[in-house]
Amino acid sequence: QAGLAAVRAGYGEAVGLDTLTRIVITHPHPDHLGGLSALREHTDAPVAAFHSAVPFIEQPGAIRAAWLTQPDAQAAWLGLPPGGELDGRIRRRGSNLTVPRALPVATPLHDGDVLDDLLHVIHTPGHEGNQICLRVDEVLLSADHLLPLNSPPLMPARFLRGSGVAAYLDSLDRVERLDGVTLALGGHDGPMPDPRARIQALRARTHEKLDALLAACTHPMTIHDLLLALHPRLRSIQAVL
């Protein structure tokens, strides 16, 4: 509500919870979806989300159950010490619900759709397999695909279809090809007035990480050992990211 008030005061736009006509979920991560249940107490505006994200919103319990069938295989693939702190964190992450209760999605979206004659839908997997960006004229609402201060966490595609480095780099290329975009607004932090320069910086940073990873692979090692070799002072909460 404070954000809507700031738009009213700063830009003279008559927006409020009572005037909302659409809610768009850019991707089903808790910090982008978890507040939907509370928002539902104030507005009946219909929800839109990428079609493959709909089950995360309408059947959160089923998604959690599917994740929890995999932790043993995931831990073995990563080479995690059994019963260690990282193993426990991954299991707890899988037990979390992205939204506290099931909620209906009125409009499943597909790549290339134009929502409400205004929002151009661009599928940008990588950070999350179901993530979308939204273009409004020269502005790109870039969710967590483009962020001004850091590169987004990339879960392995093995854990979540559409996630991972390869998908992220492909999505960076795709957004870079958009003509006429002069401003990007991400899901965190401030505006990006030169989106193409930010894309190039994110791509370069990703390749730096890949080069460092390959250089560290001096002998056969688990992903867990590789993580510690690259980041010896990493805290466990960061390691999951």
DSSP annotation of 80 reads P
How many Å apart are CA 192 and CA 167, to the nearest integer? 22
How many Å apart are CA 32 and CA 206, to the nearest integer? 24
Per-residue pLDDT of the chain (241 residues; tens, 9 = 90+): 899 999 999 999 999 999 999 999 999 988 999 899 999 999 999 999 999 999 989 988 777 666 655 667 778 888 888 777 777 777 776 667 777 788 999 999 999 999 999 999 999 999 999 999 999 999 999 999 999 999 998 888 887 889 999 999 999 999 999 999 999 999 999 999 999 999 999 999 999 999 999 999 999 999 989 988 998 888 877 777 7
